[in-house]
């Protein structure tokens, strides 16, 4: 390890840290001078510089919440095969950077032996990008890490192979207001009922002005209940977002009936071949059913199978749906179309005029 890498990095409030002290020497030497890249096999990238230098990237799937033992094991593999150069991706994959081609296959064999699948490149299902839930959040409806583990067990073959029409990006979040992102498939927790208030505890635990201010739709106001200061909720205004729970735990939002899971499709950040787009609802009200969430897994796998069998090469899920239309999409995945799928918000006419199946 270089002297610069060993020296602790001081806080920098002007942006991201300088990457060069931690960069592989081949990448540093050829910075901005790369000619092309290709994929020798799923999970492996080879970048070729104009100078002729090559660097191989081996991508393996990992769990997001790691113990020290696992991190040390991965670092030992990096020291053994690639001089300690590795990096974590935003999707909790780990990438080993090698300048010796003869080390690629031995590294893959050892990763597989230790239980780390190699894949997630090209037209495959990459690791689910997800939030941490119970580990760090103040209003989680469930632990997204558990949902992700269950889904990736089902999608293991699609991670280690490149057999999809195009890449598939899946996201998951632990609630419907704080986290999550646009994805080809998005699995998000939703709260379905206003909070249940324990009036005996509100005055002892909550700063009521902070709770009132936290509500995005002004549905909470101070109240006296049984002669004690408390809060009340205007249920006609409440959007069941769960924001009130963080500053006031007696306003309980989690429960078997209150917490559900919704699946969305068609989101896209990139502008490759088509413009970015928001995802749209497919299924709502799925049970939050740990530890395996079978109902969620069933819906996601239906979508993936229909996409794999019917989409054209290079079509993302949203592009495929736009081509065949939403009625046909719901037929293919065998999911009923209900009134909750209809966009009825203030600017719905504009949204409808942008869709493939309603024009007026």
d(CA 19, CA 121): 23
Q: State how far the alpha carbon of 289 is from the alpha carbons of 90, 121, 132, 137, in Å.
A: 27, 30, 18, 20
- The model's confidence at residue 360, banded by pLDDT at 50, 70 and 90, is very low
Residue 351: predicted pLDDT = 59
Pick the range with the lowest mean pLDDT from 12-16, 237-241, 266-270, 272-276. 12-16
Q: Using alpha carbons only, what angle is made at residue 305 by residues 300 and 310, rounded to the nearest 5 degrees?
A: 130
How would you classify residue 296: left for phi > 0, otherwise alpha for psi between -120 and 50, otherwise beta? alpha
Same domain, 48 and 140: no
Q: Is the pLDDT of residue 46 over 50?
A: yes
Residue 13 lies in a domain: no
| Residue predicted with more confidence, 342 or 159 | 159
pLDDT at 72 over 90: yes
Does one domain contain both 221 and 160? no
Per-residue burial over 243-253, b if 16 or more Cβ lie within 10 Å, else e, is bbbbbbbbbeb
In a domain, 105, yes or no: yes
pLDDT confidence tier of residue 4, bands split at 50, 70 and 90: low
Whether 318 and 267 have beta carbons less than 8 Å apart is answered as yes
Q: What is the pLDDT of residues 270-315, one digit of tens each?
A: 888 888 888 888 998 899 888 899 999 999 999 999 999 999 999 9
pLDDT by residue (tens digit) across 150-199? 999 999 999 999 999 999 999 888 877 767 678 899 998 888 889 999 99
Task: Identify the band that residue 232 occupies on the pLDDT scale cut at 50, 70 and 90.
Answer: very high
Mean pLDDT score of the chain: 88
Q: How far apart are CA 129 and CA 169, in angstroms?
A: 8
Domain CATH code at residue 288: 3.30.413.10
Q: Report the alpha-carbon distance of residue 164 to residue 168 in Å, rounded.
A: 8
Q: How far is residue 24's CA from residue 155's CA, in Å, rounded to a whole number?
A: 32
Residue 67 phi/psi, 5-degree rounding, is -90, 165
**Cβ proximity of 266 and 321 under 8 Å:** yes
Residues 186 and 281 in one domain: yes
pLDDT score recorded for residue 174: 82
pLDDT at site 350? 63
CA 195, CA 244: separation in Å to the nearest integer? Answer: 8
Reading the block at residue 206, the tokens are: 């909550």
- Of 189, 194, 211, nearest to 202 by C-alpha is 211
Q: Give the residue among 78, 83, 146 at the shortest CA–CA distance from 116.
A: 78
In this model, does residue 132 exceed pLDDT 90?
no
| Beta pairing class for 220-225 and 44-49 | unpaired
Calculate what percentage of the chain has a pLDDT beyond 70: 91
Q: How confident is the model at residue 135 (pLDDT cuts 50, 70, 90)?
A: confident
Q: 152 and 290: one domain?
A: yes
Do residue 184 and residue 41 come from a single domain? Answer: no
Q: How many domains does the chain have?
A: 3
Look up the domain containing 106 and give its range.
Answer: 20-113
Residues 153 and 281 in one domain: yes
Do residues 279 and 181 share a domain? yes
């Amino acid at each position: 390890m270089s002297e610069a890498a060993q020296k602790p990095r001081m806080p920098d409030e002007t942006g991201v840290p300088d990457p060069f002290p931690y960069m592989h020497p081949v990448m540093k030497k050829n910075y901005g001078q790369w000619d092309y890249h290709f994929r020798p096999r799923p999970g492996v990238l080879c970048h070729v510089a104009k100078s002729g230098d090559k660097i191989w990237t081996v991508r393996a799937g990992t769990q997001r919440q790691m113990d020290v033992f696992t991190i040390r094991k991965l670092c030992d593999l990096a020291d053994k095969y690639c001089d300690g150069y590795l990096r974590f991706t935003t999707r909790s994959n780990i990438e080993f950077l090698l300048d010796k081609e003869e080390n690629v296959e031995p590294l893959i064999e050892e990763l597989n032996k230790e239980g780390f699948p190699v894949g997630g490149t090209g037209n495959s299902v990459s690791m689910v990008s997800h939030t941490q839930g119970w580990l760090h959040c103040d209003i989680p409806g469930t632990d997204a890490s558990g949902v992700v583990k269950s889904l990736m067990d089902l999608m293991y073959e699609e991670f280690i192979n490149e057999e999809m029409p195009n890449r598939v990006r899946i996201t998951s979040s632990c609630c419907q207001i704080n986290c999550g992102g646009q994805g080809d498939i998005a699995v998000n927790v939703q709260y379905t009922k206003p909070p249940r208030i324990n009036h005996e505890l509100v005055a002892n635990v909550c700063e009521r002005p902070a709770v009132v201010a936290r509500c995005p739709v002004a549905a909470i106001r101070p109240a006296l209940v049984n002669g004690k200061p408390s809060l009340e909720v205007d249920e006609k205004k409440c959007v069941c977002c769960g924001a009130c729970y963080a500053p006031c735990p007696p306003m309980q939002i989690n429960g078997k009936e209150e917490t559900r899971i919704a699946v969305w499709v068609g989101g896209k950040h990139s502008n490759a071949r088509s413009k970015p787009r928001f995802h749209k609802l497919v299924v709502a009200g799925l049970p939050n059913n740990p530890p395996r969430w079978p109902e969620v897994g069933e819906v996601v796998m239906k979508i993936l199978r229909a996409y794999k069998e019917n989409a054209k090469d290079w079509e993302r899920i949203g592009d495929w749906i736009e081509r065949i239309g939403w009625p046909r999409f719901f037929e293919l995945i065998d999911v009923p179309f209900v009134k909750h799928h209809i966009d009825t918000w203030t600017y719905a006419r504009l949204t409808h005029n942008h869709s493939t199946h309603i024009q007026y």
